[in-house]
Structure 1
Amino acid sequence: MKNHDQLIDQLSQSARPVKRTWPVGWRVVAWVVSVLPCGMLSSWAWHSRFTDWSQQGAGLAMITLLLAFGIGAGAMAGAFTLSIAGRKPLGLRWAALLAVVWLAINLLNTASVAPPAGVGRFGEGMHCYLFMLSASLPMMAISIACLHRTRSLYPGQSLALAGAGIAFMSSMLLSLCHDVHLHNLDFAMHLAAGVTIVMLTVLTGRRWIALSR
């Protein structure tokens, strides 16, 4: 086309204003406010009791709850940052360190007491597994929708970080209605649920994130 001005005029008339993306911090706040109520509602069918924070050892359980919240928010901040072209990914060493501390405290809490009769069986662990999966489903939908908007150049990594954030948030919700002490098989099912959530987030979201590239 020789008439470049005409082409520019046509493109200018069809162009629409681009909505500016919120800063990462505010996006994380909005994400937390959105996913936690949805996760609580979707997992309500698996809710059996509230945590008794007056039990001995409740302090360790509270620390792991707060760590899970911080790690989940940090992982999601990393996913949002990585999803913006030209942005350098957040240094997640501190989040990895917190995850190691979270794991160590949970293992300590697991080994500190012997399971009472009838607790720690496969059925109890499966209940927790299903609780976390149920809580994570609306979180996945919300997270994928948020990442879809910013057109990630690294969809796999962004989705993996988002899945980790969802897994830790689901674990935090589980802590609100779980015994303060963990047991080996029970905690193993918690970890299995976290791995499943990350895999489902990557597999489910990859198509939608790829469409936005």
Structure 2
Amino acid sequence: AIVKPGMYAVIAADTNIYNAFPYLRNPDSTQKVFIAGSLGLNNDKDLVQIADVFRTTIDSVYYSDNWYNPNLPGSGRSLEKINPALNGNDGKNWSSCTFPNGGSPGLKNSIFTNNNIATGEISVSPNPFSPDGDGYEDFAIISYKLKNNVSQVRLKIYDVKGRLIKTILNNQASGPEGQVVFNGNDDENRKLRLGIYIIFLEALNDQNGVVETIKSTLVVGAKL
């Protein structure tokens, strides 16, 4: 079977997948279901790899049950990537599925967050976001695109009074663009208060010594 670009591959241990997600009994043109027998994966942590026919690894993740959202109850709830284009082994890029049935096989992830990159600027999506642990817009993806190909990046968040709240990147080697997931906690792992915050990025080019600085705003909100 061929999984074409834009399709979803669902790999299940047995046909019970159809009882949990009846829509997979009649998959549409974007869905392909594979019954693979026992997957042999542990609940707490394990390694998952995707490889091609030449055994070349396409993607991999060593997942952990610490990545679950503790505010979403119920066993059997699946882990989802916040954005598939970001680092798969970054625990901040994973959280619990928010759908009532606990999973989204063959569908776009329930917690998917887009990342929009603007040249020479910082983009935040979503903005505002509400890191209250309810599974909806709990994370913000901070994306940046720089003028230089290689830089040392510092990315920090300040409150409106100029006080440092969170250091996200500190002299991190970076290419011309990058993305990080922000969970709304400060450096003491406390949730930020509602309000407006300043994102400040400094990018030092080691070859020419030029420092590029970019500022943007981040809004922490809450549902009414």
**TM score, norm. by length of structure 2:** 0.25
Q: Name the larger-Rg structure.
A: 1
- Higher strand residue share: 2
| Structure that is richer in helix per residue | 1
Return the structure number with greater relative CO, CA threshold 8 A, min gap 6.
1
